[in-house]
Structure 1
């Protein structure tokens, strides 16, 4: 039920916002009552006054007034067309009436549709109306395409949402839940980790000690280098032994060895002299 004027005044004193709302509501009721008076005169039917009724009557009044405005515009367009044709030719009105009488129901509907389009598009030029209708058709097509793309994207999003929901449900399944003794296992793993860290430190210390001891011993590279040096010395020794083998026939006494060496030198000189004589004799014979 609506508030009485006394209630409205008392409420307005304590709540300015509610006072403004009630003033707006009062203006809406005044507008509705004015419209009902136009429709029914002084005999307005009785009805329950509440917020839902007010909104319904406001909507109905707005739609009715819009329809009246459109109907008035159509009538003005028809009257202006009739007056224009009558002004040009006196017999135009009779021809116009005869033309209207000859129209079928479908023709009247088409004419009303054309007049309504002219009113809505605010133009009496048929060419302009056609252009505007083409533009509206193109806009409608673009909007339809956008709607199709939006629906496709919406379907893809819903499909992805369903997939993610299934994945989430699977992740929440029992085989993905942690075991009941996970806390005990975690504590045990922590203790094992600490023990392994201590063992690792001990093994690192032992390994460092082993490496320090092994550093004083020859390495493989040292042994390989020494082996190469030994091989080179052995080759040198073979060469020296070969050179010394030529002196094996000499006696161990230095004087005797020197005497034998001098004898060998004398024999070498004699052989050299004989060779030279032979070459000279060969040269004389030539």
Structure 2
């Protein structure tokens, strides 16, 4: 422990802290000397951390000593109380000795068995009927616990089997290339969605143009220019281009709908695609097996 410095003399708080630490170290040294009982105390660094640990250790040791003393006192008092409650009636003792002496060996064995059974079952009376009811109750409880234990063991084996099966399936999903999602899936989906949005925008633009043209034609009462061959040809070309554009949009929408059932998450989508590929492989193997079976017949 550091000694007081000249600057600490002008700081009452530091001086009080140093004195408190000195008292704590004195108590710790006394406690260690008592515990080691004349043996050499191991050397250690004297700092605040060590002081705090030793202080907590000494307090815990004191609490343990107090608890041990209380427990020993209770044990002594309980033993004394039991000794006081022990029957000292000499008449009862003589009667018991007389009965024990005059009993046959079978009788001694029977009375010893009755006493042992009453003590084991913790019955308040050695009455045969009371012991029988207690024994039946204990037997019923033991059988119930045995059945529950057997059920729990069966359930544990089932859970262990399912756990092993799930780990095997997880390993298969991890290492089997069939369950891996193609690296280009996200890029293809993004590109198809982008094209779909673009084509939908174009379709709306052409529909607006067609509507404007139809309105202009309806407002033209003369009908000479609208019914001309050039106007009709232009309208047919626009209608043909619009039909082709609609066909492209519908085709692209059908391609996008093939991925409509996939989750939005990339990893989840890969797992779903892998699962479908596994099912497809199973159907192919089944088809090949049926095809081979037709020829083997």
Shorter-normalised TM-score: what interval?
0.3 to 0.5
TM-score when scaled to structure 1?
0.41
> Which has the higher relative contact order, 1 or 2, with Cα contacts under 8 A spaced 6 or more apart?
2
TM-score when scaled to structure 2?
0.40
Structure possessing the higher radius of gyration over alpha carbons: 1
